Amino acid sequence: MNRMTRSHQTLPMTSRPLAAQGLKSYRYRLPFGFVMIGALNDLDALKQAGRSIDHTPQVANLEHWNGLAYIPCEQTSMTSSS
């Protein structure tokens, strides 16, 4: 077991990358926790978040996995194919 695997095991489930192979890991912040999302890009992640909530998703609540931690998605990334 390598160092990265061990460190992921000590993180809470919502602090780990959970997307299936071929997808990027995202999470959408809600008042009670996170919706974990696997998506192709930021726009797809926002669309997927909309399927889990009863209001229009906001990019300010969307975070993506950068290889070490979840970081906020930027507004400008919503117009690109990230």
How does pLDDT run across 18-64, given as a tens digit for each residue?
A: 999 999 999 999 999 999 999 999 999 999 999 999 999 999 999 99
- pLDDT category at 8 given cuts 50, 70, 90 is low
Domains contained in the chain, number:
1
Q: Can you give the residue range of the structural domain that contains 40?
A: 22-79
* Residue 18 DSSP label: -
Kindly state whether residue 33 falls inside one of the protein's structural domains.
Answer: yes
pLDDT mean over 10-18: 88
In this structure, the number of other CB atoms found within 10 A of the CB of residue 29 comes to: 17
Kindly state whether residue 9 falls inside one of the protein's structural domains.
Answer: no
What pLDDT score does 11 carry?
Answer: 81
What pLDDT score does 61 carry?
Answer: 96
> If we measure between CA atoms, which residue out of 27, 55, 57 comes closest to residue 39?
27
Kindly state whether residue 45 falls inside one of the protein's structural domains.
Answer: yes
